Amino acid sequence: MSPDYTLYVCTDRDLMISATVAESVEKAILGGAGVIQLREKEVPGRVFYETALEVKAVTSRYGVPLIINDRVDIAMAVGAEGVHVGQEDMPCTAVRKLVGKDCLIGVSASSVAEAVQAEKDGADYLGVGAMNPTATKTDAGIVTIDELKAIRSAVSIPIVIIGGINRKTIPLYKGLGIDGIAVVSAVVAAPDVTEAAKELRKEWLS
């Protein structure tokens, strides 16, 4: 499954307007989300696992890759297409030993050094940010556009940007060789999830 990183949607049960995470995901996919990341920071492992099973049923139906945030064990247990890790999580090299060569591994990076190391360690793509202040990750440092350009020049793997990405900020990042936008609240908290996803994807590609 070759991912379409154009619109990469991360879940957030606290922000979503949908009744369930699986419903939120389906609406986002109908709007053009090409990758779904299941992000569950506050729930017990069993709830995360059960939610992942429900979401995987939806993503599989539409042929969209499911990435599990942080939890390599849950990614493997539900047969997700990938796992995303941050700088404080299990290192990419260790994740690769567990998941094998066919599983996608994304790594969060906010500097050239982190990006280069992630590519060297076998990451399939980078999540670079936070590009702007964002309520979903209040402890994240801001990555400047100059740093983003330097990261793009330093690595060859796909890059998705995250952190306060919405219709107002998208134009700042066009033409920089970035592969896609990762969004949370701009889609899952929108009154019409499907329409919001469609508009963001169209804005990015226009």
The answer to whether 2 is a known catalytic residue is no
Q: State yes or no: is 120 an active-site residue.
A: no
Residue among 27, 39, 56, 198 flagged as catalytic? 39
Asked if 135 contacts 107 with a C-beta cutoff of 8 angstroms, the reply is no
CB 51 within 8 A of CB 16: no
Which is catalytic among the residues 24, 27, 71, 108?
Answer: 108
Count other C-beta atoms under 10 Å from residue 195's C-beta. Answer: 14
* Lookup: tokens for 163: 């952190």
Catalytic option among 18, 60, 96, 137: 137
The identity of residue 175, as a single letter, is G
Give dist(CA 101, CA 71) in Å, integer: 17
Q: For residue 160, list its beta bridge partners.
A: 127, 180
- Residue 153 is a catalytic residue: no
Round to whole Å and give the CA distance between 10 and 106.
Answer: 13
| 90 vs 97: CA distance, rounded Å | 11
CB atoms within 10 A of CB 191: 7
* Angle 14-125-82 from CA coordinates, rounded to 5°: 60
> How many other CB atoms are there within 10 angstroms of residue 122's CB atom?
15
Give the active site residues.
39, 108, 137
